Structure 1
């Protein structure tokens, strides 16, 4: 069985959680071999099961590992924490939940204890769609000592300056606090990239988006920002809308990029 549920306890959320773990074909053939890990994040209104149920992730992973276009890796598909319609994988300003801490200090250590991972940043990456694309970038940019690379598929790659008044009337203010406040700036992908580009250790970034996607303008704006500050990145755009047809199809490019980062680390 290549995919198995893995239950664990989150101290950050004080809750029992479950993620799905894809084990590579050779995992049970040896008790000594260790593997890099990719965390695959779901989007708004989603769950830890959606990459399997709607994105055909298992078939994509099997095909890529069998062909050698992605080295054999452990793929972890977690919940975002399960609060409301989506947590964006960050600690919330109003104290509703510490969803970044849940990923960093509960999920990752549990995976490294239970499975034969290569437990280092150079062999750990994160990828996500929509809200999960934002999650992949914010987690990696805030924690370059944890993730070597991040890939976003049709991600909500936003900055606080791009939030509309309608958005601020929703859960967004509960999440980020005052728009011009220091807490919000720590969750602003534009601010984080501008800060990180000056440092030697920074995550490699890939993002792709459909040209008919409602998040396409945010992706184009983020591409322009990274070009302006000279942050190395890979950007792709394709025909497509914000749906599972696009997400599932373009998981391949996101994983191709991560494979190249793993290969660079290995050499």
Structure 2
């Protein structure tokens, strides 16, 4: 197996970007075969190398594929857009950057064009840690025609309904979501987005897990309670652990096993 850097141009950000791409051994042996794709998102202060350098992702993928717990897949580890401490993978209210457009309109089409992917939502999933956990759920719930499954590890599963005015004291939050109770903020609220998708036949399959000592554990519990109330099917797990790479790396396996099951049951679009 191998991870390779792949550079491309983002028109949404008008910048050259680099992602890391994992391809299985068979990719170079069978030129007619196409593969499912998992997009693996990093957290705050991270970059496209975080999952391989800190999270042992390559070895995890090798082991899961070798044990047949994960189908041979292409796994793409992008940069979040590279602005400030983190972009949350969304288009910012203040116009700073179109970070969702960068993922949806630049990265994914380029990967589908340059690699032998199965370019269909039924075989495309997104997973992330912390900020990337929020990004994975926001991208999938806002774009169920693009992703059939999403997974969050220790995710920042925030909701405007649970925020206080103190949460807006940072320089970044208002720039991302605008007025706290405004319409733009609601479009980025995972609780609102889940409510919109719950009755959709093609709603994304969701998995999330979090450590009980993690400062984001209450947000994960609140999101589980919301999904239970809505009747949105999901897989939730909690373990002992804190917000650190040893937890993220260990429980990436839980997220990928769920994605494997979800992609196996999702039918291609007709």
Q: What band does the TM-score fall into relative to the shorter chain? A: over 0.9
Match of 1:80 in 2: 80
Q: How does 1:112-151 map to 2 (within 5 A)?
A: 112-151=112-151
Match of 2:168 in 1: 168
Match of 1:230 in 2: 231
CA distance in 2, matches of 1:244, 1:265: 31
SS at match of 1:235: strand
CA distance in 1, matches of 2:5, 2:21: 6
Unaligned runs of 5+ in 2: none
Match of 2:19 in 1: 19
Match of 1:208 in 2: 209
SS at match of 2:207: strand
- Give, in angstroms, the shift of residue 169 of structure 1: 1.7
Q: Residue deviations 1:72-96, cap 9 Å, x none?
A: 0000000000000000000000000
CA distance in 1, matches of 2:187, 2:9: 27
| Corresponding position: 1:265 with 2:266 | yes
| Corresponding position: 1:41 with 2:41 | yes
Match of 1:58 in 2: 58
- Give, in angstroms, the shift of residue 164 of structure 1: 3.2
SS at match of 2:193: helix
**TM-score normalised according to structure 2 size:** 0.97
Q: CA RMSD in A?
A: 1.0
CA distance in 1, matches of 2:5, 2:106: 16
Q: Residue deviations 1:222-249, cap 9 Å, x none?
A: 0000000000000000000000000000
SS at match of 1:199: coil
- Give, in angstroms, the shift of residue 266 of structure 1: 6.0
CA distance in 2, matches of 1:166, 1:55: 32
**TM-score normalised according to structure 1 size:** 0.98
Match of 1:182 in 2: 183
SS at match of 1:26: helix
Number of residue-to-residue matches in the alignment: 267
SS at match of 2:152: strand
Q: Residue deviations 1:98-121, cap 9 Å, x none?
A: 000000000000100100000000
CA distance in 1, matches of 2:102, 2:219: 27
CA distance in 2, matches of 1:149, 1:129: 15
- Give, in angstroms, the shift of residue 253 of structure 1: 0.2
SS at match of 1:126: strand
CA distance in 2, matches of 1:117, 1:205: 22
SS at match of 1:228: helix
Q: How does 1:145-160 map to 2 (within 5 A)?
A: 145-160=145-160
CA distance in 1, matches of 2:183, 2:160: 11
SS at match of 1:21: strand
